[in-house]
């Protein structure tokens, strides 16, 4: 471990508009994400001498103060040829600005906290300047977007901030939905437990969250639904589905134990949540990008048994 002294940074136009937590995760590559959120929560990171929340968006000429930090030694782990082949085989769309991956499950987006290497670190051995535009949980598959240029990353963050990115997920949920349940408008609040685990719940004190659900196919005990994110809160689809009484199959955090047990008996070994498609128009080029990530053979085979 190495220890830094207090550091001061002046924010330039290139990174203006980014959330400070996303900026710090990229800037402080050898600092664990959990520690970054801890110093933000404790007010040890200051912008213009003031405390700021993780959601604060940086402005050009902001004066950023970073406290002394314990740095992890840079990981010497290298991706195996098998991992690189698996990831490159999952590329759905690519040009000089962007790369969109059909993320496989079980692989974390970032390394750290005992995970020697994640998708970002692996792909950077092929694309050194690659930056992650958004996140998916390790147990969620589907469309994952990367930017090859900092300017494009800034564009994507602004599109997401203004709701100009259309994201559609597929999820297998408990029971059958009624028409009145299709729109879920319920604020969400994050709660950090002592164990460090992040939980989200519906709360009047939370942030606005809106999800549109549409049933695609009904089964005996479950329904395959399409979920469109109007806002993009942490665990939004999972918590909104649970709130409506239709938790997602295989969800160990917000799910129904008996339902999960029944689904496991039929062969489900994962969370049934898949980022099915993403669509946006990149302002700098005017190009409309619409990418669909097919569900895995594993999930297709499982649906045939339900």
pLDDT digits over 127-185, tens only?
Answer: 998 999 988 888 899 999 999 998 999 899 889 888 899 999 999 999 999 998 999 99
pTM (2 decimals)? 0.78
Query: Class assignment of domain 2-71?
Result: alpha beta
Radius of gyration, alpha carbons of the chain: 20
Phi, psi of 28 (to 5 degrees): -100, 70
Alpha carbons 132 and 124: distance in angstroms, whole number: 11
- Please provide the CATH number assigned to the domain covering 81-150: 3.30.70
Please give the DSSP secondary-structure letter assigned to residue 64: E
Question: For residues 197 and 98, which has the higher predicted lDDT (pLDDT)?
Answer: 98
Domain range summary for the chain, segments of one domain joined by +: 2-71, 81-150, 159-303
Give the pLDDT confidence score for residue 6 in this predicted structure.
Answer: 86
Mean pLDDT (whole number) for 260-284: 96
- Please provide the CATH number assigned to the domain covering 159-303: 3.30.2350.10
Alpha carbons 286 and 50: distance in angstroms, whole number: 38
Catalytic residues: 137
């Amino acid at each position: 471990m190495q220890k830094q002294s207090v550091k001061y940074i002046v924010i330039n136009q290139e990174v203006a508009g980014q959330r400070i937590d996303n900026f710090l995760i990229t800037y402080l590559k050898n600092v664990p994400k959990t520690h970054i959120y801890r110093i933000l929560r404790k007010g040890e990171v200051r912008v213009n001498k003031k405390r700021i929340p993780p959601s604060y968006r940086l402005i050009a000429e902001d004066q950023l103060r970073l406290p002394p930090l314990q740095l992890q030694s840079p990981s010497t782990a290298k991706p195996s040829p098998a991992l690189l082949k698996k990831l490159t085989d999952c590329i759905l769309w690519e040009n000089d600005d962007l790369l969109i991956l059909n993320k496989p499950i079980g692989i974390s987006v970032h390394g750290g906290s005992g995970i020697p290497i994640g998708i970002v670190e692996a792909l950077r051995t092929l694309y050194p300047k690659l930056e992650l535009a958004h996140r998916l949980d390790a147990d969620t598959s589907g469309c994952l977007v990367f930017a090859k240029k900092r300017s494009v990353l800034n564009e994507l963050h602004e599109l997401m901030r203004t709701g100009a990115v259309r994201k559609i997920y597929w999820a297998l949920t408990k029971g059958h939905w009624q028409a009145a349940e299709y729109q879920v408008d319920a604020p969400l609040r994050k709660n950090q437990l002592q164990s460090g685990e992040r939980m989200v719940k519906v709360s009047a004190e939370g942030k606005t969250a809106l999800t549109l659900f549409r049933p695609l196919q009904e089964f005996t005990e479950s329904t395959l639904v399409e979920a469109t994110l109007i806002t993009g809160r942490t665990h939004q689809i999972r918590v909104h589905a649970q709130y409506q009484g239709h938790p997602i199959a295989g969800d160990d955090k917000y799910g129904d134990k008996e339902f999960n047990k029944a689904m496991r008996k039929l062969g489900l070994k994962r969370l049934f949540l898949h980022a099915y498609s993403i669509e946006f128009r990149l302002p700098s080029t005017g190009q409309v990008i619409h990418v669909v990530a097919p569900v895995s053979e594993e999930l297709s085979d499982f649906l045939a048994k339900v």
